[in-house]
Chain A
Amino acid sequence: MEAIASIAPEVIETTPSVSHTVPKLISGSEALMMGLVAEGVDTIFGYPGGAIMPVYDALYDYQDRINHILVRHEQGAGHAAQGYARMQSRAGVCLVTSGPGATNLVTAIADALIDSTPMVCIVGQVAKRLLGTDAFQEADVMGVTMPITKWNYQITNADEVPEILSKAFYIAQSGRPGPVLIDMTKSAQLELMTKPFVYERCQSIISYRPRRIPKQEQVEAAARLINNAKRPYVLVGHGVQIAKAEDELRLFVEKTGIPVATTLLGQSTISTDHPLYVGWLGMHGNYGPNVMTDQADVIIAIGMRFDDRVTGDASKYIKQAKVVHIEIDPSEIDKIIRADAPVVGDAKEALKALTALVQPNDHTIWRNEFRKYDTIEYEQITLPELTSTEGKIRMAEVIDMLSKKTNGEAVLVTDVGQHQMMASRYYQFRRPNSLVTSGGMGTMGFALPAAFGAQVGAPDRQIVAIIGDGCFQMTLQELGTIVQNKQPVKAIILNNNFLGMVRQWQQLFHERRYSFVELQNPDFITIARGFGMDGQTCEKRESLSDALDTMLNHDGPFLLEVIVEKEENVFPMVPAGASVAQIRLK
């Protein structure tokens, strides 16, 4: 363990400088603050309450070092921390009270786990003597969050704070990142530590040793497969961006000439105009990348986990191909798809090692096969969606125009549903780390708070949230947080007056029985105004461009509501349970 010498001055104050002076002993809450400062935490998303009040009291003295952001609902704190973490590539921090505060946070924790987002959640708990008594606002948060955290721990005594906090950050941010939770009893927050506060940043844990550097034999085996491949194909997941391996990926594919597709969360890893980029995979992904999966002889899967939205029916998936699977989490190897050449390690390290061993190859003919399908998709879907002149505005037009106006350089934060898929289809990502979306959980209500968190985490980037009318109503109270914190988040509601994605499924698979999917919506702009946010509704195709300009040029946050076609469907589509080759164009 490496001690941090240059942490908060308090550390020096509390460590006796003269041997016989009695050190000032501090409370668990203060220790927590000092630990957070030592970890370099500058922002916390939180919501106070009885069982976390001593920590909030300590926070009062730390306002100059730690920016606490008061959200409107703990789920919002969680999603905001996720957005922040994605932009900063380090743990987002949440602070909430016991019982209902903690349970409100649960959705975001589960979301962060499945999308491998680092997060440290600090949760108040009733006093130690009340544990297990069904005390006021007591919930078994340890039990509830055990299956949805990478690690959790209950602190019941103040002396544990420094060690546990440093472990929490280490676990959240290393290996495959994920959420960790510290449940801290009120008594531990209040009581004094019995020893001087010393903070050492955790560097390793005996039972937890993620492998960063892959084994050379594994890399060599993978390189052999790749060098002998006739029709190799790279599938990129979120892991590449987590490892910040965008450049290494580009060098690898440019050297080998292998076509690249991404998963939903892998989008923006490589610029959409890169000649080797062929599109994205999955249920609503592009036509070519899905169909061609069945024709590859070697699949190189990097930092992705063969989610069922990517594989369709896994029993029919890539039976013909040899698989190279590069993954930092060994439990993902062979979980869904058997790997012929597993490479366990960090994507950046693995790609570096692999690039050194692979040979340049000419895969032009193979690559061009993808283009046939691109043309089909373009003619049958893209073009009609982008050039329709009748009916209401279509989602595709909004995203396409936004993409052009922002040069593909904005960060899109999307919610869940048709608009999410349309945003992914039509935004031309030019910069890495530009799509923040709830992939694994598909959590409605994610976008608004996550966009806020992303803006806090990346003040210099243009953040645009794309939200459905249904999703917006799950967390719209966070408009208040955005306004109070003066963050220039731009949010676009694509309003089709339906829970559109569910309606699409009902139309296609339930004989148009539209069971409870139509919404009576409020006046969103009035609501925004009520929160002190400017906004505008756009209903006519002719005014879309101006409306987007108004939004983008607006100084401060802005809500743009676009009334879109009510019954539009997202295609291509791999119906649930079908194989990827059965992808439908209509």
Chain B
Amino acid sequence: MTTYTICIFTENTIGLLNRITIIFTRRRINIESLTVSETERKGVSRFTIVIKHESREEVEKLVRQIRKIVEVMAVFGYLNEEIVYNEIALFKVSTPLGSKPLDVETINQQYKAWVVYWGLDYVVIEKTGNDTEIFEFFGYIKQYDILEFVRSGRVAVGKTEKGLVEYLPESEWAYYL
């Protein structure tokens, strides 16, 4: 299984999320994570969808099907080494009076994580990184009582010169800029 990150640039219209995810559902491809936000261009949204698949060919077909959606402007598929990507995770850790104190220095220096909120008897720690880094930190912090843990979907930008490695022969990205 290879991880693919699919970036989809779309017009920002109601119902599009549905139209896009139907394409995955219909091909029985599980979505590992999904992030949507508006881009630097007004009215243009960017979907970042992570999937695992054993066949690059199937992923290319999937990309073409997505490109077919009228509101989709361009679709790009990436392998992990072609992108810079991150997720963000929040850990709510219990710190009642008298419990083992947090080693903030290790958290900061070794794990590059930050306490972003102090509650009465808990703290919220933010950790950004790829999933391995996040789970490494999880392994460390679980010696404390984790009350809540949440991880975002992946966000990614391409590394290549054009900024994009794209599967679609037909798309003319420059056109939309």
Contacts and interface: CB of A to CB of B under 8 A. Distances in A.
A329 B65 CA distance: 10
A139 interface: no
Given A146-B18, A146-B19, A154-B14, A335 B70 contact: no
A330 B67 contact: yes
B70 A151 contact: yes
A480 to B, nearest CB: 37
A331 B62 CA distance: 9
B170 A344 contact: yes
Interface stretch (A21-29, A204-212, A484-492): A204-212
Given A146-B19, A334-B64, 12 more contacts: A146-B15, A146-B22, A147-B22, A152-B15, A154-B14, A154-B15, A207-B10, A208-B71, A329-B68, A334-B57, A334-B60, A344-B170
A211 to B, nearest CB: 6
B11 A330 contact: no
Nearest to B11: A207
Contacts of B26: 147
A335 B61 contact: yes
A474 interface: no
B17 to A, nearest CB: 11
A206 B10 CA distance: 10
A342 B70 CA distance: 22
B114 to A, nearest CB: 39
A142 interface: yes
Nearest to A180: B70
Given A146-B15, A206-B176, A207-B11, A330 B64 contact: yes
A334 B61 contact: yes
A154 to B, nearest CB: 7
A143 interface: yes
A58 to B, nearest CB: 26
Interface string A311-343: 000000000000000000111011100000010
A250 interface: no
Interface string B11-25: 100110011001000
A395 interface: no
Contacts of B49: none
A206 B71 CA distance: 8
Report whether over half of chain B's contact residues are helix, strand or loop; otherwise say mixed: mixed
B145 to A, nearest CB: 40
Contact of A208 (B19, B60, B70): B70
Contact of B70 (A143, A150, A329): A150
Contacts of B70: 150-151, 171, 205, 207-208
9 contacts: A142-B15, A146-B15, A171-B70, A206-B73, A207-B70, A209-B172, A331-B65, A334-B64, A335-B61
A147 B18 CA distance: 9
A171 B65 CA distance: 16
Interface in B30-71: 57, 60-61, 64-65, 67-68, 70-71
Nearest to B65: A331
A207 B71 contact: yes
The bracket for how many chain A residues form the interface is: 20 to 34
A156 to B, nearest CB: 10
A333 B65 CA distance: 11
A150 B18 CA distance: 14
A335 B63 CA distance: 11
A335 B10 CA distance: 23
A331 B68 contact: yes
Contacts of A146: 15, 18-19, 22
Contacts of B71: 207-208
Nearest to A156: B14
Interface of B: 10-11, 14-15, 18-19, 22, 26, 57, 60-61, 64-65, 67-68, 70-73, 168-170, 172, 176
A193 to B, nearest CB: 21
Nearest to B23: A147
Contacts of B61: 331, 334-335
Top 4 A-B pairs ranked by shortest CB distance? A331-B64, A207-B73, A151-B70, A208-B70
Given A207-B10, A335-B61, A330 B73 contact: no
A329 B68 CA distance: 8
Contacts of B22: 146-147
B18 A335 contact: no
A377 B68 CA distance: 41
A205 B73 CA distance: 10
B89 to A, nearest CB: 32
Contacts of B172: 209
A152 B18 CA distance: 12
A205 B69 CA distance: 12
Contacts of A209: 172
Interface centre among B15, B18, B60, B170 (most CB of A within 10 A): B170
Contacts of A207: 10-11, 70-73
Contact of B170 (A142, A143, A205, A211): A211
Interface centre among B10, B11, B70, B168 (most CB of A within 10 A): B70
Contacts of A334: 57, 60-61, 64
Interface centre among A142, A171, A330 (most CB of B within 10 A): A330
A206 B72 CA distance: 9
A334 B55 CA distance: 14
Contacts of A147: 19, 22, 26
B176 A335 contact: no
A329 B67 CA distance: 10
Nearest to B15: A142
A331 B57 CA distance: 12
Nearest to A147: B22
Contacts of A205: 70
A147 to B, nearest CB: 5
A331 B15 contact: no
A151 B61 CA distance: 20
B47 to A, nearest CB: 13
A40 to B, nearest CB: 22
A331 B176 contact: no
Nearest to B73: A207
